[in-house]
Amino acid sequence: MGGQTVPAGVLLARAGQRRALVASADGVATSEVLDEAQATATRRPLTRRAVLQAAFAYLGSGYGWGGKDGGRDCSRLLMDVFATLGLRLPRFSAAQSRAGSMSIDISAIDDMAQRLSIIDAAQRQGVVLLHFPGHIMLYLGRNDEGRPMALHAFAEYLTPCASGVGFDGKSETLQRVDKVQISDLSLGRGSSRRSFAERITRVTMLAPAAGAGLASLVQRRPAAPVSMEGACTSPKDVGILVVPRHPHPGEPVRVMVSSSRELGSVNWGWVDGGGRRRELVLKRSGGPPFGYWAELASPTPGKWQARLGDGARVAACIDFVVHDKAPLRQAGAGAVWIPRRRWSRATENLFSMFVARLFDYPLDDRTWPKLQVLLSDSDHNLLYNHLGQDEEERIVLRPDCADLPYFLRSYFAWKLRLPFAYRHCNRGSQGKAPYCDRDIHSNLAKRESSGETSAYAQFASRNIADGVHSGSGRTAPDDDNSDYYPIPLTRESIVAGTMFADPYGHLFVIAGWIPQGLNSYGVLVGADAQPDGTVGRRRFWRGSFLFTPDTSEAGARFKAFRPAIYRGGSIGQLKNRDLV
């Protein structure tokens, strides 16, 4: 660069396209145009390939604790590697071990196979750092012989002596390294210090998600206080809702967010109209979809804004008003309710979050005498008293297995003013699967009561309960004139709120998933109702979720509600070809 030699790995300020600013004793000069072999922009994706390319550039360079003699210690090496990608790591190894997207404490795990299983599972998700007190390494994965390897800057390690007395009067030998090197994690095995693999206490991940096997083990990096600057918007696949719909000081206010994607390390920032900030406790539910919510016990009247994010990264945002008084109960006529929202990926995610949280209890043989008991739990029912009419205390719902999916869907649609539809179907016959009428019944039905809550209660217990049965869920997979459509056998598709119809007439609502661990299997949980109104849960296994691939007499399989659409004053349902 203009006669000057710049060491590899030095960060230079950009001066336009493919040029850099270089400081010297004579001042600051602009370099000539640089090619990609000479310089790489730091603003580039943080990929495994990019990290490895940056790390291998230091292979063989000298070790120096605290930068002694121009060398690099373990933490300085990682600082320099990630700086080339625009990421500033803390100076010390202990802080670096907490600086990833998430980390796993394995200090209490003695079994080596389990320790390495966690490390390998983490490495499949992204870039992995391995830490023990005083040292940190970049994990490379397994070599051709299956040995776990790491790249790190280190001074020495101990090996046991085959015979005689070695280092410090002990039967050990001190092996000097003093450079950046790739090593097997078994180095030091049998010595008083133990091997590197045995000493690891924390596995740090730079990854977008933990993956199914690690979801229950990870500790996420604490999120930075979310910035309240900029536009208040949310992505299309992120649903955000304020509960109740008419917040007022006499009731707590809850903001809930549901996303198809895991949002990573996030936290809440709420600001009232006077600019006073509230930091609220973040609650999560696993996914997909992933749920996040917080609750403020006593909001003050005025304008509010709630943001979910991490520093300048805002994942979701909503403006709302806390009114001076509670809403008045209003009587009305006409339809049971008029839709004001539409079904979308965001509202489907919120529906799934609602169902998952409703049944989110320890996995046991718990049952409830009626659905109303579940809906009356304000901690588990995220839509509790959303209409501000004490509605959970004033409706009684006693579904059987066929009613339960419809009751949950209609309850959610009623609360959020979404369209809801169902058809009258038969039960099929020998050699023919059940099929439904072309006529669609919906929430536009005439009210049988002037009260909002009583009108819904009568609609559910009379119209819906009398109009649907187990045949409604067992229609043929390719039948457009049906309330459900078949979904793929994937974790992303089989979410809370979808259903399973068996060939013999029983229906389950998918209530959620228990994540698998490294040494434990995951569990798919279904909820069902009995003719006496009892609601319970069952684990997915072949004895409870019965199945046959033959669809000539019943379309048994996992299904989801066919979205209802409100258009031109009437309600219809999407056909299979229109579903995405």
pLDDT at position 3 over 80:
no
Crossing angle between the packed helical segments 48-56 and 74-83, to the nearest 10 degrees: 120
Please report the pLDDT score of residue 546 as a whole number. 80
Range from 4-13, 512-521, 534-543 carrying the lowest mean pLDDT: 4-13
Is 232 part of any domain? no
What single string gives the DSSP state of each residue in 263-308?
--S-EEEEEETT--EE----EEE-SSSEEEEEEESSPPSEEEEEEE
Is 564 part of any domain? yes
Give the end of a domain, one of 272, 290, 322.
322
Q: Are 375 and 511 found together in one domain?
A: yes
Is 332 part of any domain? no
Structure tokens at 383: 């839509």
Q: Are 7 and 113 found together in one domain?
A: no
Residues found in the chain: 580
Distance between CA 561 and CA 564 in Å, rounded?
9
Beta strands in 475-534 (DSSP E): 484-486, 499-501, 507-514, 523-529
pLDDT tens across 94-123, in order? 999 999 999 999 999 999 999 999 999 999
- Label residue 443 by pLDDT band (50, 70, 90): very high
**Dihedral pair phi/psi, residue 502, rounded to 5°:** -90, 165
Percent of the chain topping pLDDT 70: 90
Q: Are 12 and 61 found together in one domain?
A: no
Distance between CA 32 and CA 252 in Å, rounded?
62
Please report the pLDDT score of residue 24 as a whole number. 64
Count CA atoms within 13 Å of residue 198 on its CB side: 10
pLDDT tens across 189-243, in order? 999 999 999 999 999 999 988 887 788 889 998 899 999 999 999 998 899 999 9
Is 394 part of any domain? yes
Is 329 part of any domain? no
Q: Are 60 and 33 found together in one domain?
A: no
Cα separation values, 18 from 38, 42, 79, 306, 332, Å: 10, 12, 24, 42, 69
Distance between CA 373 and CA 52 in Å, rounded?
55
Q: Are 351 and 318 found together in one domain?
A: no
Distance between CA 272 and CA 254 in Å, rounded?
14
Say how many C-beta atoms besides its own lie within 10 A of residue 91's C-beta.
12
Range of the domain at 410: 345-578
Q: Are 54 and 200 found together in one domain?
A: yes
Please report the pLDDT score of residue 1 as a whole number. 47
pLDDT tens across 357-398, in order? 999 998 887 899 999 999 999 999 999 999 999 999 999 899
Calculate mean pLDDT across residues 462-479.
92
User: Mean pLDDT in the chain?
Assistant: 89
Total structural domains within the chain: 4
